[in-house]
Amino acid sequence: MRQRRRKAILQAHFHEALAAEGLSCPRDLGYVSLNVNDDIENAMGIRHRRDVLGAMAVDALNNLLHRNAKGPSDVITGTQVDGIWEEGETLPVL
């Protein structure tokens, strides 16, 4: 990592590897988390809305029960819940 002289890393749970190399953020390297819910305190990045996603999953199951749906569906559907940008202290001030 030291040889490539990166300025920032965008990844989930990278802070442990950074510490193992004797580096710290934001002093040596900027760090943006893809999941601040389960990351270090004050990480900058995306906070997932698990409360909303859970509520939508319950609504989807309830809808299947009301329609008396049985077995696997031949139609693939999905649900998307956008994350929220969380300001933190893991990027240097420019």
DSSP secondary structure of 73-91 = -SS--------EEE--SSS
**Structural domain count, the chain:** 1
Residue 68's pLDDT band, with cuts at 50, 70 and 90, is very high
Q: Please count the other Cβ atoms lying within 10 Å of the Cβ belonging to residue 32.
A: 21
pLDDT in tens, 6-43: 666 666 667 777 788 888 888 888 888 888 998 888 98
Whether the Cβ atoms of residue 37 and residue 48 lie closer than 8 Å to each other? yes
Is 71 part of a structural domain of the chain?
A: yes
Predicted local distance difference test score (pLDDT) of residue 57:
93
Tell me, yes or no, if the pTM score tops 0.75.
no
Closest CA to 25 of 76, 72, 91: 91
What domain range includes position 32?
A: 8-86
Is 94 part of a structural domain of the chain?
A: no
Is 68 part of a structural domain of the chain?
A: yes
Is 39 part of a structural domain of the chain?
A: yes
